[in-house]
Homo-oligomer: A and B are copies of this chain.
């Protein structure tokens, strides 16, 4: 099969680097067109990009020219990891010009006609694209994935919602610095420290969780019928967001049933064997002190939510720890899996 050439907006950033890295050996897609800020445009990617991943920059990317973030002759499928200061307008411009924009940016996530998607959780929300086309008159389209903190939370909640119904969710995050991009968090701010605040993050987690676990009814998303509260903190971790979660459920359940619901959870990406899909979207560990970002963030190539420490909660009903890789499952891998789902549904033809 001939690979489909794709473009990346924001290719020199932390998430953009993850896109370039994940696409190096992707069976369906190939990074052909890279774009970044005006400062980088015109340079070779190898020069423009301050590569910050431990695995080396793919040789195929090194010589690619960095373009401006404008449609022109970009490929039809575009991954976007632009800064939210500029993503809103640029992504619309690409959609208007006929591109399929698979975005990791926050700008359009809560637009009522834009799918906010986790392929294992709400693949049916893709149907919003019909409404989007009608509303906007675009030849292209925009599809989004959630915030890096929302992903791990919702992947841990979806099996519970499906099996028992959710009533209340309270989550405290301990987030990795890579979530703030590069240069991102100054060392002087975080060395030996915790920053108990990430601008806009708690609101995103609360809203996005309810949209993701909502029902598509008559062309609109009816938000999930449960309360969500988020405390977001930054800690001195490179990759992997750790979350302390308490939940109350609608149906009676035992800890064993929760674990069974998580371990047995499979969805469309697993059924269709999409290339970036984890075999086990939710992995439950039994050690008393796991998951830990250092040891578990790379589980299933960084595409699983890893759960541990399941126990009763004296205030809500159950509590546990969840972990997911914030720039893989929480960003570039999420968008890639969205595109794979869309291809499997014929949206990319």
Contacts and interface: CB of A to CB of B under 8 A. Distances in A.
B174 A228 contact: no
Interface in A159-182: 168-170, 172, 174, 177-178, 182
Interface stretch (A18-26, A230-238, A269-277): A230-238
B194 A228 contact: no
B229 A194 contact: no
A72 interface: no
A321 interface: yes
A244 interface: yes
Interface stretch (A73-81, A88-96, A147-155, A184-192): A184-192
Contacts of A244: 172, 196, 231, 233
Given A170-B246, A229-B319, A292-B195, A188 B236 contact: no
Interface stretch (A30-38, A254-262, A308-316): A308-316
A287 to B, nearest CB: 9
A298 interface: yes
B246 A188 contact: no
Interface in A304-326: 308-309, 313-316, 319, 321
A194 B238 contact: no
A279 interface: no
B309 A197 contact: yes
A188 B183 contact: yes
A168 B188 CA distance: 35
A294 interface: yes
A52 interface: yes
Contacts of A185: 186-188
Contact of A196 (B193, B228, B289): B289
Nearest to A178: B188
A341 to B, nearest CB: 29
Contacts of A298: 54
Which of A178, A186, A197, A227 has its CB near the most chain B CB atoms (within 10 A)?
A: A186
Nearest to A238: B192
Contacts of A193: 237, 292-295
Contact of A192 (B237, B246, B291): B237
Contacts of A238: 188, 191-192
Nearest to A315: B229
A71 to B, nearest CB: 31
Nearest to A167: B315
B235 A172 contact: no
Contact of A229 (B178, B186, B288, B314): B314
A193 B241 CA distance: 10
Nearest to A175: B194
A328 to B, nearest CB: 15
A174 B191 contact: no
Given A195-B289, A229-B314, 8 more contacts: A54-B298, A170-B246, A172-B172, A172-B244, A183-B189, A196-B291, A196-B308, A197-B288
19 contacts: A170-B170, A170-B313, A170-B315, A177-B191, A182-B186, A186-B186, A187-B189, A191-B294, A192-B294, A194-B242, A196-B242, A196-B289, A196-B309, A227-B314, A229-B319, A231-B244, A233-B242, A235-B235, A236-B237
